Chain A
Amino acid sequence: MSNFTPGLVAVLFVAAGLLSIGALGVAWRRNLAAALAAVPLMFGGAGIAFVGVARFAARAPAQVQPAYGPRVIVGVSGPPVGQEIAVLIAVVSLGVVALGVALAARASRSSAQERPR
C-alpha cells in the first residue's frame, strides 16, 4: 500500500492538471461566462500546490538526540503558510469572478444600448 501513498509529486500532478485545465478554459472558450468559470479552477490548482508544499515540505532541519544511539536530523514543518496562502487565493478567486461578472454585465448592457434598432 505504501507505493500508492500520495506524496508531494502526486499533489503537484493534481495541481498542474487543474491549473492547465483552467488555463485551457480561460484561453479557449469564447463565451465570457465559460472563461470566468475556469478562473476558480486555476486558483484552485495553485492552492493545492501551496497546501501540498505546506503538508510535505520541511522548513528547517533539526537535530534530535534519542535516548540511545547517535543524533538524527529530522525535518521540521513550520507554520502552515501554504494553507494561509490557499485561503487567500480562494478569497481572491471569488473576487475575480465577481469583478468579471460585473464587467460582463456592464459590457452586455452597453452593447445592448449600442445595438441599432
Chain B
Amino acid sequence: MDSLHAIGFYASSALALAGGLVVVLASGRSLRSVALLVAGAGVAGVYTALSAGFAALVVLGSFAASALVLARPDYRTVVGSAHDLWRQLAAVGAAVLLAALAYAAFRGDFAHVAFNGGFFGSAAVGRLLLVHDALASEAIGAFVLAALIGLTVAWRVHDRSR
C-alpha cells in the first residue's frame, strides 16, 4: 500500500467514524441522514483504499438509499419502551465489544501477503456472486425485494390513511 492509499485509508476511516458518531448522537432527522451519507462515503473510501472499488460503489449506494429511506418522517412517533437500566447495560456492552475486538485485533498474529487482485475487482466479485455463490445472491435479492415491497405497501397505506 503506497502513501496515497495510506492517506486515503486514514482520512476515510476518520470520516466514517466521525459520521457514525454524528449518526448516533444527532437528534434531527435530516442531520442524521446527511451524517449517514458521510459515513457511507467514508466506508466506501476505506473499501477503495483496500482495492475493493466495486464493493465501494455498492456500499455507497446502500448507505445513500438507507439515508433516503430514513429521511421520511413516517416513523417519528415510534419510540422504544426499553427500561433505562437495560439501555445503559447495552451501552456498556457496546464498550466491552469495542475493547474485546480491539484487543483481538491488537494481539492477533496476521500474515502479510502481496495482493494480486485488481483495483476494482468487479470481474472476480461478479464471478463469485453470479457463479460460485449464486444461491446466496438470489436469496439475498429475494429478501431485499420482499423488504422493498413491504416498505412500498406500508407507505401507500400510510399515505391513504392521511
- On A, residues with C-beta under 8 Å from B are 1, 4-25, 27-41, 44, 47-48, 51-52, 54-58, 74-77, 79-81, 83-84, 86-88, 90-99, 101-109, 111-112
Output the least CB separation between B38 and chain A (Å): 12
Task: Check A55 against B52 for contact (C-beta < 8 Å).
Answer: yes
Q: Which residue of A lies closest to B150 (CB)?
A: A102
* In the complex with contacts A79-B127, A101-B74, A12-B9 CB distance below 8 A: no
Q: Which residue of B lies closest to A75 (CB)?
A: B113
- On B, residues with C-beta under 8 Å from A are 1, 3, 6, 9-10, 13, 16-17, 20-21, 23-24, 26-27, 29, 32-33, 36, 39-40, 43, 46-47, 49-52, 54-55, 58-59, 61-63, 65-66, 69-70, 72, 74-80, 82, 87, 90-91, 93-95, 97-98, 101-102, 104-106, 108, 110-117, 121, 124-125, 127-129, 132-133, 136-137, 140-141, 143-144, 146-148, 150-151, 153-155, 157-158, 161
Contact of A27 among B72, B91, B129, B161 (CB under 8 A): B91
Task: Check A37 against B32 for contact (C-beta < 8 Å).
Answer: yes
What CA separation (Å) do A7 and B109 show in the bound complex?
Answer: 12
Task: Check A34 against B32 for contact (C-beta < 8 Å).
Answer: yes
Q: Which residue of A lies closest to B101 (CB)?
A: A16
Task: Check A22 against B20 for contact (C-beta < 8 Å).
Answer: yes
Output the least CB separation between A88 and chain B (Å): 5
Task: Check A95 against B140 for contact (C-beta < 8 Å).
Answer: yes
Question: Which 9 pairs, one residue from A and one from B, show the smallest C-beta to C-beta distance?
Answer: A27-B90, A75-B113, A104-B75, A16-B101, A12-B105, A20-B98, A25-B24, A95-B144, A102-B154
> Can you report 23 residue pairs joining A to B where beta carbons are below 8 Å apart?
A6-B1, A9-B106, A9-B110, A12-B105, A14-B46, A27-B87, A33-B70, A34-B26, A34-B32, A36-B75, A40-B63, A41-B24, A44-B39, A47-B47, A75-B114, A77-B115, A80-B121, A83-B121, A83-B125, A87-B55, A95-B144, A101-B72, A104-B75
